[in-house]
Structure 1
Amino acid sequence: MKSAELPLSSSTGRLSDRIYDHVLGQIAIGILPVNCRLPPENGLAELLGVSRPVVREALTRLRDDGLIASRQGAGWFVTRRPAANAFDFAPVSSIPDIQRCFVFRMAVEGDAAGLAARNRDKQSLRRIQQVLTRLDTMVAQGREGGLGVEEDLLFHRTIAEASGNRFFVETLTSLREQIAIGVNLNRNLSLIQPRGRILRGQQEHRRVFEAIEAQDEDGARRAMRTHVENARKRIFEGG
C-alpha cells in the first residue's frame, strides 16, 4: 500500500512528542488507515524536518501503544486505530472557554438544524417534539419541574440525530460535558431571574422545531444559531 504524506503542524513541544501526536492524529482520522505502510524512518525524518532518532522514539511509543508494528524488511505498518474517546475534547476550564464553546456550537448546531430540516422524517420529528413537550412541562412547573438540563441536552441531540449525519451526533457526544456546563449555568440563572427569561429560551426551542417541521432549512439554521447566541448572552450579558 502506498505510504501517506504527513505534513507536520507547527505545534510546540518536545520533538518526539510532536511526531507522536501528529502520526497518532493521522491514524485516528483515517489518513493512515489500518494496514497502511508508513514512510521509511529516513523519509519521515526528512519530511518532518527532524532527526532519525527523534522519529524512531515516536514510532517506538506508537508501537508500545499497539498502534503500529514493524514487519521485517517491509517497514512500519498501522495495526489499529486509537479508541474512540482518545480525542475527547478537553474540559472547559475558564469563563472564556464557556463562551468559545457557545460560539463553536452556533456553527455546528446551526448546520445540524439546517440538515435536520432537510432530512427529518416523521419518526425523528416526533422524537424532537416529545422532548420539546417535556421541556414545556418543566417550564410550566417552574422550580418544581427541575432544571431540565438533561432534557435540554436531549433536545439538541435529537436534532443532531435528525440531521442524518453521525458526525454531528458524535461531536455533541464528545462535547457533552462542556455543553452541559453552559446549559446548567443558564438554567440555574433562569430560576433566579424573571420568568420571562426561561420562557424566551423555550420559545426559541419551539421556533427551531417549527422550522424543522416546515422543512425550512435556512430558517432552522438561523433559529438554532440565534438560540445558542441568545443563551450565551443570557449568561454573560443578562436578559
Structure 2
Amino acid sequence: MARKEQSIAEIDSNTAFRTAGRPVRDRTLSDRAYERIVSMIVLGEFAVGVKLPTEHVLSERLEVSRPVLRQALKQLREDGLIVSRQGSGSYVQRRPDGSVLDFAPVGSIADIQRTFEFRAAIEGEAAFLAANRRTDRDLQKLQTAYDELDRCVQANELGVDADEAFHAAICEAADNQYFTSARNSMKANILTGMNLTRNLSLTMPTSRLELVQGEHLAILKAIKASDAEAARLAMRVHVENARKRVFDGA
C-alpha cells in the first residue's frame, strides 16, 4: 500500500498525538501563538505593564487550545517578555525593538530562540573541551576570527561570517567531530540567529557590538589559558545573552 503523505493542514490538526501515554507538545501551534503574541507586543497592541487578556480570551482569539496557549506563554515568560503575578494574570514586562520583525524571517523567532538554547548546551561543552585540547593551530584560527570580528566592529560591519568562523573554530578545537556535526546540522538556524542579533546590534550604539566582542574575548582568553570551567561559563553566558538580546527593549 502506498504511503500517504500528510499535508501541513493535516499535521497542524493533529494536536492530540500521544507517546507512551503522554501527550507530545505541538510545537507548531504553540510557536505560532508565541510569535503572534510577540508581534502584538512589538506593535504596541499590548503595552508594557498591561495585563494580557485571559487565557480563555487569548485562546479564542488565536484559535488554539488553552494547553497550546500555555506553552506559548511559558516561552514568553522564559524570554522575559511577560511576567505572571499569582492570582492576577500575565503582564507585559518588556517590549522588543520593532526591528526584530524586520530582520527575522516570518515564523522564525521561536526557532531562533530554541537554537540559542541548543547552542548554549553544545558550544558550552565544546569550549570546555577546547580549553583542554586546543593546539597552537587552533589558537591561531580563533585569534584570526576574533581579529576579523574586531575589524567588523570598528568598521560597523555585520560580521556574521567572522562570528560563525569563531564559534566553528571552537568546536573544531574540542577535537570531537560530533560537536562540529551537531552544530552543522543546525547551521542554517544558527546563521539566521547570528544575522538577526548582529543586525539588531547595528541599530544600537557601537557599545552594543563592543559588548558582544567583549564576550568573545572572555571565551578566547579562557581557552588560551586552558581554563576549561571559565571557557564553558563564558560561552554559555555569551549565547544566553545573545538570546536575550533578540528581545532588547525598544
| TM-score bucket (shorter structure) | 0.5 to 0.7
Whichever of the two has the greater Rg, that structure is 1
Q: Is 2:224 the partner of 1:213?
A: yes
Q: Using the alignment, how far apart are the partners of 1:180 and 1:11 within structure 2? A: 36
**Counterpart position of 2:195:** 184
Alignment of 1:57-76 (within 5 A): none
Alignment of 1:55-134 (within 5 A): 93-134=107-148
Q: Give the aligned residue type for 2:235.
A: M
Counterpart pick for 1:10 among 19, 44, 58: 19
**Counterpart position of 2:153:** 139
Q: What is the SS of the residue equivalent to 2:246?
A: helix
**Counterpart position of 1:172:** 183
Q: Using the alignment, how far apart are the partners of 2:199 and 2:237 within structure 1? A: 20
Q: What is the SS of the residue equivalent to 1:237?
A: coil
Q: Using the alignment, how far apart are the partners of 1:166 and 1:173 within structure 2? A: 10
After TM superposition, give the deviation of residue 173 of structure 1 in Å: 1.1
Q: What is the SS of the residue equivalent to 2:226?
A: coil
**Counterpart position of 1:231:** 242
Q: Is 2:169 the partner of 1:158?
A: yes
Q: Using the alignment, how far apart are the partners of 1:97 and 1:11 within structure 2? A: 26
Q: Using the alignment, how far apart are the partners of 1:174 and 1:218 within structure 2? A: 26
After TM superposition, give the deviation of residue 213 of structure 1 in Å: 0.1
Paired residues, number: 150
After TM superposition, give the deviation of residue 92 of structure 1 in Å: 9.7
* Partner deviation per Cα, 1:100-152 (whole Å, 9 max, x = no partner): 1111110110000000001001111111011100110111111xxx3111111
* Partner deviation per Cα, 1:138-189 (whole Å, 9 max, x = no partner): 11111xxx31111111110000000000001111111110001110001111
Q: Using the alignment, how far apart are the partners of 1:110 and 1:234 within structure 2? A: 18
After TM superposition, give the deviation of residue 10 of structure 1 in Å: 3.2
Q: Using the alignment, how far apart are the partners of 1:11 and 1:133 within structure 2? A: 51
Q: Using the alignment, how far apart are the partners of 2:106 and 2:166 within structure 1? A: 22
Answer 1 or 2: higher relative contact order, Cα 8 Å, separation at least 6.
2
The normalised TM-score by structure 2 is 0.57
* Partner deviation per Cα, 1:39-85 (whole Å, 9 max, x = no partner): xxxxxxxxxxxxxxxxxxxxxxxxxxxxxxxxxxxxxxxxxxxxxxx
Q: What is the SS of the residue equivalent to 1:236?
A: coil
After TM superposition, give the deviation of residue 237 of structure 1 in Å: 3.1
Structure 1 residues 133, 93: closer, same or farther in 2, change over 3 A?
same
Q: Give the aligned residue type for 1:148.
A: G
- Unaligned 5+ runs, structure 2: 1-17, 22-104
- Unaligned 5+ runs, structure 1: 1-8, 13-90
The normalised TM-score by structure 1 is 0.59
Q: Give the aligned residue type for 2:123.
A: E
- Partners of 1:92 and 1:98 within 8 A in 2: no
Give the superposed CA RMSD: 2.2
Structure 1 residues 133, 11: closer, same or farther in 2, change over 3 A?
farther
Structure 1 residues 181, 11: closer, same or farther in 2, change over 3 A?
farther
- Partners of 1:92 and 1:178 within 8 A in 2: no
Q: What is the SS of the residue equivalent to 2:118?
A: helix
Q: Using the alignment, how far apart are the partners of 1:202 and 1:163 within structure 2? A: 21
